[in-house]
Structure 1
Amino acid sequence: METQMSKPRIGVIIGTTRKARFADKPAQWFMEQVADHAELDFELVDLRDFDLPMFDEVASNAWLPSEDPHAVRWQEKVKSFDGYVFVTAEYNHSISGSLKNALDQDYTGWARKPMAAVAYGGVGGARALEHLRTISVELQMVPLRNAVHIGGSDFYKVWSGGENAPMSEIEGHLQAALSAMLDELVWWTKATKAAREA
């Protein structure tokens, strides 16, 4: 009987928690695009499902184990992946408070793994993603160069506050960026996983 190596696991993290969020639409679109990916397994992770408190531990879990059970459950989830794709909104030129808090709740789980992003907003979530990349460097992640940006007229076409059209109406504009990001994610996931396991 032939044994098949399990594919590296990528967490697709929805980075906002508010009731009126747009994130579900691009997140579902992304999951459809990677449903049968040949080299990576993708799992959708919703911050709403973790009920994280505002970070209030004595120290980062790099120094002391966290005490809050919600934080510990989140850390176990983060640790289970070999890389990440963040679906991120842009709030006032940065990421959401809920995503920053989720990042702060762990240190060790993120380290030495790649991070990619699907970002959205008026300028494609570019400013939020630049902040996210600098945060990820401090958490010892490998931020990828390529990302999917949904901005400008494409954003207003599919946004619930705009035309609310299906993602299929703009996906032709996103495919080149998606393909480049996934190629890069495969390379860095394999490289960092091999290095961590060596």
Structure 2
Amino acid sequence: MSDHRLQLAVILGSIRDGRIGPTVANWFAGEADRRDDVLVDRVDLADVPIGSAAPTMTPPPEVLAALRELTPRFDAADAFVVVTPEYNRSYPAGLKNIIDWHNTQFHAKPVAFVSYGGISGGLRAVEHLRAVFTELHAVTTRDTVSFHNVWEQFDGDGRPKDPQRPAAAAETLLDQVAWWARALKHARATTPYRTLNTAR
């Protein structure tokens, strides 16, 4: 059955000490794991020592090795869900770096968002990310999952205190990203996707 399941990369974008990101990402990945149409690959950017290395630089060997390990996972992904906090009305710098390093891996694939933060629930970070992924020829889903005042939303076991609302939002998001993933996977297999650099 796994041969027919969509490969879903769930990317945790925060690398800060004391982050609540793993709680949010683990909850969402658990929701996705319940489905029989996706296979989840959890990608925690805290495990990728990219730091502030820009794609125009030659990274240190340990960073280059980590990037090379991550690249085939992104190549294999049929879809992505980015779990992001909001830092200063936008998204984390480490997340931008990893996106820039893997430009072509996002082409003609769907990207969805799970955001968290204070009163805005990380939605301002999502709006910025939508523009970035449009530049990378990705398709972003309309609906998101967002946790406002996130520190109050989870219990000590990492479960939402009000499970029904986020579970319903996650189901809608996963339905949408799976629909786009199937459609775009078929399209890529039958008609090569061309960008300005590949057009003849």
Q: TM-score range by the shorter chain?
A: 0.7 to 0.9
Residue 121 of structure 2 aligns with which residue? 124
CA RMSD of aligned residues (A): 2.2
Cα 1:168–1:113 change in 2 (3 A) is: same
* Cα distance in structure 1, aligned partners of 2:172 and 2:72: 30
Residue 64 of structure 1 aligns with which residue? none
Q: 2:109 aligns with which of 100, 110, 113?
A: 113
* Cα distance in structure 1, aligned partners of 2:162 and 2:79: 26
Q: Give how far 1:165 is off.
A: 7.3
* Cα distance in structure 2, aligned partners of 1:5 and 1:105: 28
Cα 1:107–1:172 change in 2 (3 A) is: same
* Cα distance in structure 1, aligned partners of 2:5 and 2:136: 24
* Cα distance in structure 2, aligned partners of 1:164 and 1:97: 29
Q: Give how far 1:177 is off.
A: 1.6
Could you list the runs of 5+ residues in structure 2 that have no partner in the other structure?
58-62, 191-200
Residue 66 of structure 2 aligns with which residue? 70
Cα deviations by residue, 1:89-118 (Å, 9 ceiling, x for unpaired): 000000001101111111111111000111
Q: Is the 8 A contact 2:55 2:100 kept in 1?
A: no
Please say if 1:194 is aligned against 2:192: no
* Alignment size in residue pairs: 184
Secondary structure, counterpart of 2:81 in structure 1: strand
* Cα distance in structure 1, aligned partners of 2:71 and 2:124: 27
Q: 1:35-74, aligned counterparts within 5 Å? A: 35-58=33-56, 68-74=64-70
Q: 2:92 aligns with which of 96, 107, 113?
A: 96
Q: Give how far 1:12 is off.
A: 0.3
Please say if 1:148 is aligned against 2:145: yes
Please say if 1:19 is aligned against 2:17: yes
Q: TM-score, normalised by structure 2?
A: 0.83
Q: Is the 8 A contact 2:153 2:160 kept in 1?
A: no
Residue 152 of structure 2 aligns with which residue? 157
Cα 1:73–1:177 change in 2 (3 A) is: same
* Cα distance in structure 2, aligned partners of 1:144 and 1:132: 12
Residue 62 of structure 1 aligns with which residue? none
Residue 87 of structure 1 aligns with which residue? 83
Cα 1:4–1:49 change in 2 (3 A) is: closer
Cα 1:121–1:5 change in 2 (3 A) is: same
* Cα distance in structure 2, aligned partners of 1:33 and 1:196: 27
* Cα distance in structure 1, aligned partners of 2:76 and 2:52: 22
Q: TM-score, normalised by structure 1?
A: 0.84
Letter in 1 for 2:152: K
* Cα distance in structure 1, aligned partners of 2:171 and 2:4: 22
